[in-house]
Amino acid sequence: MNIIDGGVTAPIGFSATGLRAGIKPGKKNRDMALVVSEVPATVAGTFTLNVVKAAPVLWDKLIVEKQETARAIIINSGVANACTGEIGYENAKTMAANVAMKLDVDKNQVLVASTGVIGKQLPMEVIYHGIEELVPKLTSTREGAALAAEAILTTDTKKKEIAVEIEIDGKKVTIGAMCKGSGMIHPNMGTMLGFITTDISISKDLLVELLKADIEDTFNMVSVDGDTSTNDSVLILANGLAGNTTIETKNKDYDIFLEALHEVNEFLAKAIAADGEGCTRLLETQVIHAPSKDVAKVLAKSITTSNLTKCAVYGKDANWGRILCAMGYAGVDFDPYKVDICIKSNCGEIKLVENGMATDYDEEMATNILSPEKVIILADIKAGEAEAVAWGCDLTYEYIKINADYRS
């Protein structure tokens, strides 16, 4: 597998672009993007588990469940089109229909995604104008992918893109992806907005199963602030233009593709955590030697989502009691007097806890280890062979500032 410079236009047959339509305040921020496959692409998706689902989520769920294929994804940032009632749903459908008309395809071939402020209706005249400008600017170039990746951002500070190449059935297969996510990120689906394109040929059933399974170990293991969004969606389009024999069983080709997709999803998951609103450090939590994968995941998530632990990481404070406490209220059984806790970074590694009790560690060394941009907490519970990893970030004053002023 080769990681290449690219995004959603890297696979054969995909074009994209992004521009400023005028949804967001200001004069420069891009706020609409369009991704198109030149042929019908097998479609799969995962969506928020929040009971309050945005209008585009309801539309996309219907398309993914009822249709084998899709041709396009239209995305806007600035307004979430959530909690907008029947008008909001009709607006989502109208967005799809408008794009479909411009591309000369059926509206049921167009997926819709929105992100931004909840409760506001979309400015449809602005949306129509944006679509009018997007279609003729579609391009299969690297720039097209970058423009789309920029246009979907809200409080993010950077674009999040990746592309990889693999060989399947003697053919080069490419996966490209972009995502956005900085706040309102909590594991319960496939967090934030993520868009994956690939030129592989694979059956609908396997693509759906494969995406859902991998989301559990990647996007669903990310938390920035404990809030599950109304708009969370991860969508994948596979147009088959690589020319490989269609994957219809879980064979060697399936395993190769799954490994590559996992690489893509894990990269994006980490990028979201590292770009958490106001954050200064990426926090990776590793739980090892658990009795089951489920127990390991619950413990890793509990540590990562603990506000006290996140504050300690921000303060470079090796307050291991907060880590063990977060494990204790996670709702799974383990023996606290078997637990070892270490912290690691590119500045070194130190064991804070052995068999549930403090070691004679050096506080200054611990502070140095907690200083770089990526910090790892390792919890060994010595009860089996299962393990899991979760990603999050520290909790800072800047996070409060951003979210206290979000609608301004």
C-alpha of 304 from chain center: 16
Tokens at 301, concatenated: 């998530």
Where in the sequence numbering do the catalytic residues fall?
191
Tokens at 97, concatenated: 């229909």
Q: How far apart are CA 96 and CA 101, in angstroms?
A: 9
